[in-house]
Amino acid sequence: MANHVKISCLGPRPLAVPADVSDEEAIARMIRHWQAQLDQVLPDRPDLIVLPEACDRPDPLSFPLARRLDYYRARKNRMRDFFADVAKRHGCYIVYPAHTEAADGSWRNAMQLTDRAGVVTGAYHKNHLVPDEYEVANILYGRDAPVFECDFGRVAAAICYDLNFEELLRRYAAQKPDLIVFPSMYHGGLMQSYWAYACRSYFAGAVAGAPCTIVTPLGEVAASSTNYYSFITASVNLDCVVLHIDENGAKFPDIKRKYGPAVSIHDPGYLGCVLLTSESERFTADDIVAEFGLERLDDYFERADRSRHAPGRMAP
């Protein structure tokens, strides 16, 4: 059945804070900054808000590492609790990315997911760090690739430099999330579309100082922020499947004749596949797949590969 989810992504540049202000003043300024940013999207009543990487880190150009560590230790969980309170009051999920200190004094580049009740439901630690994050800032590499169960679907996370590494991409593609959230300082360019298509999932990027984007499972940009406004809010329908045109295509006219606008079949061109989406409250995209005997894109590729490797079929 139609599963419309409203997503907001925010990508303001890091807040400049003078290094000589007190920790308490720095924290207060950061809370005011993010309240003003959130006020731009909260009237749209999003289901999910995605913030950029290390969202509560003052701009490093004016706030050097040693000063930031003092600030982080004074901050503790206060910024997280601020966002959790916003999530609870507005009934939305919030992706809170921040540098966090572990009990042993080491650091993580983390993303914590807060649910609609203001409860932290899990965390992702950046798997693939820029070398200086470890060598200079003592941030340890993450090892897990969790997928979070939300009331609207299954959500995976990648942070900034992660987008360059096939290992993490393959782990997520195998888990088939509905949505990938991407808090970042780096846009990623074509890698955003590549990840969305490879995982057959929607992609929500919140990039500090660069366009925020919502990308479809076919790799198309559905929404983007602009040079004037560093935030976007867009609705996506997660009740969808990716299908190759080959063999399935002959059945598309029958589907449209029977269900009309209750089923959307979108062809991006050149890719050879479509996104079939249920707009109905009576049936799901999976129901359409079963009713018409459609073959999902990954199943089609696997069948083609099995055919190639069958005995006697490969040229010597």
User: Around Cβ 12, how many Cβ atoms within 10 Å?
Assistant: 21
**Residue at a domain's end among 185, 206, 237:** 237
**Residue at a domain's end among 185, 214, 237:** 237
- Number of domains observed in the structure of the chain: 2
Contact 120, 80 (CB under 8 A): yes
- Domain identity same for 178 and 229: yes
pLDDT at 208: 98
- Domain identity same for 182 and 252: no
Domain of 303, in residue numbers: 240-309
Alpha-carbon gap, residue 3 to 152, rounded angstroms: 7
Average pLDDT, the chain: 97
Percentage of the residues of the chain whose pLDDT score is greater than 70: 100
Which residues, including other chains, have CB under 8 Å from residue 76's CB and lie 6 or more apart? Answer: none
Q: Enumerate long-range contacts of 31-36, CB under 8 Å, 24 or more apart.
A: 31/78, 31/79, 31/82, 34/79, 34/82, 34/83
- Domain identity same for 230 and 260: no
- Domain identity same for 209 and 248: no
> What is the DSSP code string of 132-183?
HHHHTT-BPPP----EEEETTEEEEE--GGGGG-HHHHHHHHHH--SEEEEE
- Domain identity same for 106 and 220: yes
Is the residue at 49 inside a domain? yes
Averaged over 11-19, what is the pLDDT? 98
- Domain identity same for 261 and 204: no
pLDDT at 53: 98
Contact 233, 6 (CB under 8 A): yes
**Residue at a domain's end among 237, 254, 287:** 237
**Backbone torsions φ then ψ of 42, nearest 5 degrees:** -60, -35
Alpha-carbon separation of residue 106 from 53, 137, 139, 143 (angstroms): 18, 9, 6, 15
Is the residue at 69 inside a domain? yes
Q: How do residues 137-196 score in pLDDT, each as one tens digit?
A: 999 999 999 999 999 999 999 999 999 999 999 999 999 999 999 999 999 999 999 999
Q: Enumerate long-range contacts of 76-83, CB under 8 Å, 24 or more apart.
A: 78/27, 78/31, 79/27, 79/30, 79/31, 79/34, 80/112, 80/114, 80/120, 82/31, 82/34, 83/34, 83/51, 83/114
Q: How do residues 199-229 score in pLDDT, each as one tens digit?
A: 999 999 999 999 999 999 999 999 999 999 9
Alpha-carbon separation of residue 20 from 13, 30, 63, 122, 287 (angstroms): 20, 15, 9, 34, 61
Where residue 149 falls (left for φ over 0; alpha for ψ -120 to 50; beta otherwise) is beta
- Domain identity same for 30 and 160: yes
Percentage of the residues of the chain whose pLDDT score is greater than 90: 99
Averaged over 51-73, what is the pLDDT? 97
- Domain identity same for 154 and 258: no
pLDDT at 45: 98
Q: How do residues 73-101 score in pLDDT, each as one tens digit?
A: 999 999 999 999 999 999 999 999 999 99
Contact 219, 196 (CB under 8 A): yes
- Domain identity same for 218 and 283: no
Is the residue at 315 inside a domain? no
- Domain identity same for 156 and 207: yes
pLDDT at 141: 98
Is the residue at 68 inside a domain? yes
Is the residue at 50 inside a domain? yes
Question: Of all helices (H) and strands (E), which one includes residue 4?
Answer: strand 4-10
* CA angle centred on 237, ends 235 and 240, rounded to 5°: 155
Q: What tokens does 30 get?
A: 């950061």
- Domain identity same for 181 and 304: no
Is the residue at 316 inside a domain? no
Q: What is the pTM of this model?
A: 0.97
pLDDT at 160: 98
- Domain identity same for 59 and 155: yes
